Structure 1
């Protein structure tokens, strides 16, 4: 599965490609001419999601983290020092099905989600456009790495 996202940032275009080998980034400095820069609503688009599904959710960002199911909701614990939690809503049923399978096997994993953020009643929410780059048997949280190091010293 190959996913492509095109981003515009400070006068240059970059293409991020996700595939079975991970993430690759290609800078396109020759496309800095303002006549060739996409319209603002096209700055971040994903090729695998049909346009009619994303009109309400233009843009998006990558959210790496671990996912658990609590109180009938999917929760992403983001891989940051702050460790913010996000309530997830999946646009595509197949992404939710993949997460269900991982949670049901009780496998340790972390994942990159591409989605659109919103705040609802003082909670972080994420409308998930794509779930990709799954790392089974791993954690992305610093506390887990420190715990492993601590156990190795004992």
Structure 2
């Protein structure tokens, strides 16, 4: 009888440990956000910042910032430099035919340079 009680308790502990580990894993997965790198120049329309993508597609992404200091820093760069481009760590989305991006950080900055082929050709 004691062996059955011991096995029952052991089984209960194993199952409850497995369930709680699964809950922890799923809650961590829900909290994790993965970001990509997006290169582009910055522009402002109606006090809203946009990233003009350096990629072959000509797209502008409306920017939302996880950290207000990043937006403030970009606005200072826009005042100081006529041209620059950045790699933003962000998550892109499209809703209602509008591209948007949630920016988590600035990965790289390239001051006094452009990343757009048309602007490079104009400089030649």
- Could you state the TM-score of these two structures normalised by the residue count of structure 1? 0.58
The answer for the alignment partner of 2:99 in structure 1 is 124
For the residue of structure 1 that corresponds to 2:69, the secondary structure is helix
Distance apart, 1:107 and its partner CA: 2.8
| Partners of 1:76 and 1:42 in 2: CA distance | 30
Structure 2: segments with no counterpart, 5+ residues: 1-24
Higher strand share: 1
Structure 1: segments with no counterpart, 5+ residues: 1-38, 44-53, 150-154
Match status 1:146 vs 2:121: yes
Q: Alignment length, in residue pairs? A: 100
Higher helix share: 2
For the residue of structure 1 that corresponds to 2:122, the secondary structure is helix
- Could you state the TM-score of these two structures normalised by the residue count of structure 2? 0.72
- Verify the 8 A CA contact 1:68 1:74 in the aligned structure 2: yes
Which structure is richer in relative contact order (CA contacts within 8 A, separation 6 or more)? Answer: 2
| Partners of 1:106 and 1:136 in 2: CA distance | 7
Larger radius of gyration: 2
User: Out of 58, 62, 65, which is 1:90 matched to?
Assistant: 65
Q: Following TM superposition, where does structure 1 have runs of at least 4 consecutive aligned residues deviating by more than 6 angstroms?
A: none
